[in-house]
Amino acid sequence: MRHTAFAALTAAVSAALILSACSSQPPAQEQPGAPVTDAKPAPTMAAPAPVTAQGVDPYSLAALKDPKSAVYKRSVFFDYDKYDIKDEFKALIEAHGKLLVRNPKVKMLIQGNADERGSREYNLALGQKRAEAMKKALLLQGATEAQIEAVSLGEEKPRCKESAESCWSQNRRGDMLYTGEF
């Protein structure tokens, strides 16, 4: 009986194999495998700097060289015999203040200037008051005392040498210079 059961099982398995070989489906074609390459991991890159409308971070040192930047201009002009910062220059001071806050190791030298009218001593004092007014405004923006030095050049560094109001107005100013420029 064992022999007949074994023979029946063998016959059933053989029939199943024959039927599966005779199925109506075509034989499967072997698909070519993916090519083997010498893969290396992609290099990791630092995150890119934020892009602004001007193309340069407006508070980076690179912005100092970008004519479209708010910190490109470095001079604040004053009225005759005055050292208060005019409204038209407050945005410029604010932009330079933000640059100093975001770059705490950067130092600035403010050079106060005066026109040729007045005595040498008076113009030195007026130039110092102009430089100090600019420094105070920058400190109010968050810059530190250690970052800013205010000096007076008096009438010694004129932009224009003619004796006329159009020229004198160019000489009544405070100039902001950064590390490496003084």
Closest CA to 175 of 80, 62, 85, 73: 73
Q: Which helix (H) or strand (E) covers residue 16, if one does?
A: helix 2-21
Quick one: pLDDT at residue 53? 43
Strand spans (E) along 6-125: 75-77, 108-113
Quick one: pLDDT at residue 28? 52
Quick one: pLDDT at residue 63? 95
Residue 171 — left, alpha, or beta (φ > 0 → left; ψ -120 to 50 → alpha)?
alpha
Quick one: pLDDT at residue 56? 78
Q: Where exactly are the structural domains of the chain?
A: 61-65+76-178
Indicate the CATH number of 61-65+76-178 among 3.30.565.10, 3.40.50.300, 3.30.1330.60, 3.50.50.60: 3.30.1330.60
Has this prediction a pTM greater than 0.75? no
Quick one: pLDDT at residue 49? 46
pLDDT along the chain (182 residues), means of 10: 51 49 51 56 47 66 95 98 98 98 97 97 98 98 98 97 96 97 90
Distance CA 172, CA 146 (A): 26
